[in-house]
C-alpha cells in the first residue's frame, strides 16, 4: 500500500511500562472484563516461584495455576486478592525467597499485563470466553515515558483519505 502522508496524532504517557491497542467499548464500564472483587487471586513470579507453589500446596492446600510468562495465580480461601498477595510476599520474606506478588482480579489491566509477559513482550488479549480480539498489549520500549503516535494515510477509492497504519515510536 502506498501512503499519501504521515502526521503526528499526539503522544501517549506510559507509567506501567505497557501499551495496548483495543476498542474502548470492550474495556470501559466493566462490560467485558470483571472488576476488582470479582475474582480474588494473587499472581506471583520470580526465581523462587516454583518453591512458593510447593509451600502453598503443602501449607494452604491450594493448587497454583501456571499462566504464560512464568507467572502463577492462586486463590487463598477467605482472602481478597490484596490479602493473598500480601500473604505470599510475607512467606517470601520470612523464608528468603526471591519473587514478586500482586493482586489479580481478572480486570482488563491484569489481562493486559498477562498478555505482555511472555517471550515476545506482547500478545493477544482474549475475551472472557477465550475468543481473541479484545486487544493487544505490549511492553513499551524502555518502560515509562511519553511516546509519539503517528498516522500513515492512504487514499482509498470511494472512501477518501483514511488512516492505513499507526506507528508508536518507543525507542
Tens digits of per-residue pLDDT, 34-73? 544 456 899 998 899 999 999 999 999 999 999 877 789 9
Q: How far apart are CA 52 and CA 135, in angstroms?
A: 31
pTM for this entry: 0.67
133 against 30, higher pLDDT: 133
Give the three-state DSSP class for 45.
strand
Q: Report helix, strand or coil for 106.
A: coil
pLDDT in tens, 96-132: 999 889 888 777 777 788 888 778 889 998 877 788 8
d(CA 153, CA 165): 7
Amino acid at each position: 500500500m502506498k501512503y499519501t502522508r504521515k502526521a503526528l496524532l499526539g503522544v501517549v504517557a506510559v507509567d506501567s511500562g505497557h501499551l495496548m491497542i483495543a476498542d474502548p467499548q470492550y474495556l470501559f464500564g466493566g462490560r467485558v472484563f470483571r472488576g476488582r472483587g470479582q475474582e480474588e487471586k494473587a499472581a506471583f513470579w520470580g526465581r523462587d516461584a516454583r518453591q512458593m507453589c510447593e509451600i502453598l500446596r503443602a501449607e494452604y492446600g491450594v493448587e497454583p495455576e501456571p499462566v504464560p510468562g512464568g507467572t502463577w495465580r492462586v486463590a487463598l480461601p477467605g482472602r481478597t486478592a490484596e490479602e493473598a498477595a500480601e500473604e505470599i510476599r510475607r512467606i517470601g520474606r520470612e523464608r528468603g525467597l526471591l519473587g514478586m506478588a500482586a493482586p489479580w482480579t481478572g480486570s482488563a489491566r491484569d489481562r493486559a499485563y498477562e498478555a505482555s509477559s511472555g517471550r515476545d513482550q506482547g500478545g493477544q488479549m482474549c475475551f472472557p470466553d477465550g475468543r481473541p480480539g479484545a486487544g493487544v498489549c505490549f511492553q513499551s520500549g524502555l518502560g515509562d515515558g511519553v511516546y509519539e503516535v503517528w498516522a500513515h494515510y492512504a487514499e482509498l477509492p470511494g472512501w477518501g483519505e483514511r488512516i492505513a497504519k499507526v506507528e508508536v515510536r518507543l525507542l
